[in-house]
Structure 1
Amino acid sequence: IFVARTLYLLHTVRKTRQLKDPRTTTMPSLGNTTSKPLKTLVVLGSGGHTTEMLDLIKNLNPDRYGPIVLVVANTDTTSLQRVQAYPQPLPIQNKENLVSLESKCNTSSQQQQQQQVYRIPRSREVGQSYASSVLTTLRSFFFALWLVGIQIQPDLVLVNGPGTCLPIAVSAFFFRIIGWKTGTKIVFVESFCRVKSLSLTGKLLYPIADLFAVCWEQLQEKYPRTYLVTSFIPKSKSS
């Protein structure tokens, strides 16, 4: 039953992403057909991934996407500072105080209910061998199951390529397989620096993402079930 359900969902995702016109300028509604905003889980990665993600979410309408909950790796020491230092407005509550709020959320059960930042064990450290990363990835995945299925229960998972996002996205898809939080949508936006090929994370999540976006025409032509976007604003090939 589990295998049959998995194959069915993979087929459904593939069919949903069959675009009638690859030059479309209309982004799908991601299931938000009501006035209720989507609780959005955003994964931040170290380095350029965080900067690119902030460039994306600055365009999100807080009336449709919120609250925004951030997930970062437990060894990530810079992403939250990047959020605070971002020069433009972001649809994130208490953006200027995320670091202090995170520490407070660890001590007060009342504040934990409003927690905006969650830590997850990193799947693979920089320079770590792939063989040894199997155990760390499994540990991260089991933690992600609790985070996605119990603690946050997001309506939308928005990721853009860091390894930290892999267990989060897979967990969201897993709960759809077993019939728990079946409405959670997964959106993957490939990094701007990926011009000719997808990242490893992108290749792994390509079959399960409800919306898969790339920033370059070369990639969109190679992977036709993708959207060509710039900060969530699709680019027309005719332009």
Structure 2
Amino acid sequence: MNSAFVTGGIAIVLFVRIIIVWVFRCIRRRTETNSPPLKTLVILGSGGHTTEMLQLTKQLNRSFYAPVEYCRATTDTTSVMRLPDRLAVVHTIPRAREVGQSYVTSLFSTIYAQWHAMFLIAKIRPGLILCNGPGTVLPLCVAALFWRVVGWCPGQIVFVESYCRVQTLSLTGKLLYFWADLFVVHWEELHRQYPRSKLVDSFVRRQKDE
């Protein structure tokens, strides 16, 4: 009987020790990933979304935000050609929903995209995610939030709403408003409606108005 208690006690101590070591390793990984340079993942979208993201990345201090990698939907064939660095690392995930796709079939395509996003974020472990409005953003941000909760990577999310959004948020913006670590808007009207956002009289507005 005594030997059984001793064996059980040793097993409990070992189990607790394993948990403590795991927690401290997660904390250390998070601290190391947050220390400069910060690995940055930029999510691209077709058309204006990519234009605004590229204008934003021009302002990044590459001695702090590095390496900068990109992610696009598999059906986005134009964003890669617009990157200033032809040797940039570009990841791809399936698009969650195509334009005009039915809601029934989009359920399956969204699950498929989310599955790929989970593995991608776990693999690259970004310290920072920069994104704006395309549908590709949502699966990646959900994956980043999940891996942050379990301690695998910090995945801080900075959502920059599109310059074209003056009075209402995009659907992606509405979904991420309370989850993004920093939510940026360009217009005073939008900032008044969403006080949690940060108003930036921005790089996008200046360059488009010039």
Q: TM-score, normalised by structure 2?
A: 0.78
- The CA RMSD over aligned residues, in Å, is 2.2
Tell me how far 1:180 sits from its aligned partner.
2.1
Identify the match of residue 136 of structure 1 among 109, 132, 135: 109
5+ residue gaps, structure 1: 1-30, 85-94, 99-115
**What percent of counterpart residues are identical?**
54
Larger Rg: 2
State the AA in 1 paired with 2:197: T
Q: TM-score, normalised by structure 1?
A: 0.69
Tell me how far 1:196 sits from its aligned partner.
0.7
TM-aligned CA distance change 1:126 to 1:233, over 3 Å: closer
Distance 1:33 1:156 in 2: 9
Look up the match of 2:129.
Answer: 157
TM-aligned CA distance change 1:51 to 1:209, over 3 Å: same
Tell me how far 1:234 sits from its aligned partner.
11
* Structure with higher RCO (Cα < 8 A, 6+ apart): 1
Look up the match of 1:124.
Answer: 97
Matched, 1:204 2:179: no
CA contact (8 A) 1:228 1:234 kept: no
Look up the match of 2:158.
Answer: 187
Matched, 1:176 2:148: yes
TM-aligned CA distance change 1:66 to 1:231, over 3 Å: farther
Distance 2:76 2:102 in 1: 19
Tell me how far 1:128 sits from its aligned partner.
1.1
5+ residue gaps, structure 2: 1-31
Tell me how far 1:131 sits from its aligned partner.
2.7
State the AA in 2 paired with 1:66: A
Look up the match of 2:42.
Answer: 42
Look up the match of 2:23.
Answer: none
